[in-house]
Amino acid sequence: MDDTPLAPTMTPIARPSLHDTITQRIRTMVYDGDLNPGDKVPEKMLCETLGISRTPLREALKVLASEGLLELLPNRGARVAKLTPEDIDEMFPVMGAMEALAGELACEHLDDASLAEIKALHYQMALHHTRGERAEYFRINQKIHERIMAAAGNNLLVGLYEGLAGRIRRARYVANIAAERWDEAMAEHDKILIALEARDGAGLARVLKTHLRNKCKAVKEILATDPQNEAAD
C-alpha cells in the first residue's frame, strides 16, 4: 500500500450533520407540499421516522423559523408559515431585482461550459413541461435560477438570494398550477435562454423581472382562492 502523504490541499469530504439533515428534510416537505401553509409540524412522527430525539428536531425548527418558513407556537410546536398578499408584494419585487442583477452579471461572466449546462437543464425542463410533470419541471426550474445566480460570481448576492428564496419557493411552485400560467412561464424561460446565449445582460434583466412580476400576480390569485392560506385560528 502506498503510504505517500496526501497533498496538503486535500481536505476531508464534508458530511452533513444530523441537524442539517433534519432541517433539509422538513424544508423539502414544505417545498414539495407534504406540509402546507398552516399545517402543524408532526414532531412525534418525524422523531419516530428519522430515529431522532426532540432536541435536534426542535433546533431544526428554530432554523426554519428564522428563515420564515415556519412559525413557532408557544408550547405547541411549530406550523408552516402562511403567505399573505402583503408578504408577496414585499418579497417578489426584491427577488425580481436580485435576479435581474444576477442576470446582468451572469452575462458578463458566463463561460461556455456554464451556458451549456443551463441549456441542457432548459431542454430537460421543457420536456417535463410537455409531459405535464410539474414536480420534475419545478425541480429543474429551480436549478436554472440557481445556476444563473451562481454565474453572477457575487457571493454577497448569492447569500441574500438564498435567504429569501426559501421563503417563497413554495409560492413559486403554486404559481404554475394554472395551465395557462405554466405555459406562459415556459415561454418566459425560452426568452431567458435566448438572452443568456446572446450575453444580453439588459435584456435578461428585463425578462427576469417580468418573469417574477407575473409569478407574483399568479401567487396572489392563488392566495385569494386557496382556503389553506386563510388566517389561522
Residue 120: what pLDDT? 97
How confident is the model at residue 14, as a pLDDT?
47
* Residues 180-200 pLDDT 10s: 888 999 999 999 999 999 999
∠ CA 128-132-133, nearest 5°, is 55
Which parts of the chain register pLDDT below 70?
Answer: 1-16, 170-177, 226-233
Closest CA to 125 of 200, 197, 168, 176: 176
70-111 tens-digit pLDDT: 889 888 889 988 878 888 888 889 999 999 999 999 999 999
Domains and CATH numbers, the chain: 18-80 (1.10.10.10), 85-229 (1.20.120.530)
- The angle that helices 54-66 and 43-50 make with each other, rounded to 10 degrees, is 120
The whole-model pTM stands at 0.71
